Homo-oligomer: A and B are copies of this chain.
Amino acid sequence: MNERLARQIAFLVEADKLKSIIRRTSLVDLSRRENSAEHSWHLVLVIMVMREYGPPNVDWMRVMEMVAVHDLVEIDAGDVSAYNVDALKVVREQAAADRIFALLPADQHVRFRHLWDEFEAHATPEARFANAVDRLQPLLQNAHAAGGSWRDQALVRAQILDRMAPIESSLPDVWPHVLDVVESFCVAGVLRRD
């Protein structure tokens, strides 16, 4: 086997480990918490269904590619609750990106690393939409799972809305539904108003 194919396979085999990274979010049936690989698949599907709410002239292929790779760093750095980020998270994830994407042949290393850097920088319409669906999917899942991962984190309404803000700018027509969901969980006592 030539070295190029060997490196590509080594990367794909390493990626399998993302299936063992457990997130805070539960499945809708509350049977277990979801992992970052199946979460990433769900984001691809959200993009396919929800892209009509995004801005014009978006490169949707790049959005799909970004969500497919966005969590790979968690293989080394782990999943951290969005509401409990520590100062070293960025350092750990950069080191993980350095190692994991370097498994690929040089040209693909550059391409995949650029996708991840773009996702993290939130600077392009593609990255902002990808980040927005990364917020929307767990919200939909929690909304249909009696609050799901919100239940055990003692969260305040403003924390959720701050976290969900990318949805307001990238999928503005979906934002009223986000507000409705958050309000309903305040009424239910799952989220505190302040």
Contact = CB atoms under 8 A, between A and B. Distances in A.
A42 B60 contact: no
A187 B40 CA distance: 37
B19 A34 contact: yes
Interface stretch (A44-52, A78-86, A89-97, A152-160): A44-52
Interface in A147-177: 173-174, 176-177
Contacts of A9: 140, 177
Nearest to A112: B48
A65 B68 CA distance: 12
Contact of A27 (B16, B28, B68): B16
Interface in A38-85: 38, 40-42, 44-46, 48-50, 60-61, 64-65, 68-69
Given A5-B174, A27-B19, A177-B1, A12 B64 contact: no
Contacts of A65: 48
Interface in A10-51: 11-13, 15-20, 27-29, 31, 34-35, 37-38, 40-42, 44-46, 48-50
A167 to B, nearest CB: 13
Interface residues of A, number: 48
B37 A13 contact: no
A12 B42 contact: yes
| A-B residue pairs, 10 tightest by C-beta | A41-B41, A37-B38, A38-B38, A16-B28, A19-B38, A61-B61, A44-B68, A40-B41, A13-B144, A37-B41
Given A44-B68, A48-B112, 7 more contacts: A15-B45, A16-B27, A16-B144, A18-B38, A37-B42, A41-B41, A45-B68
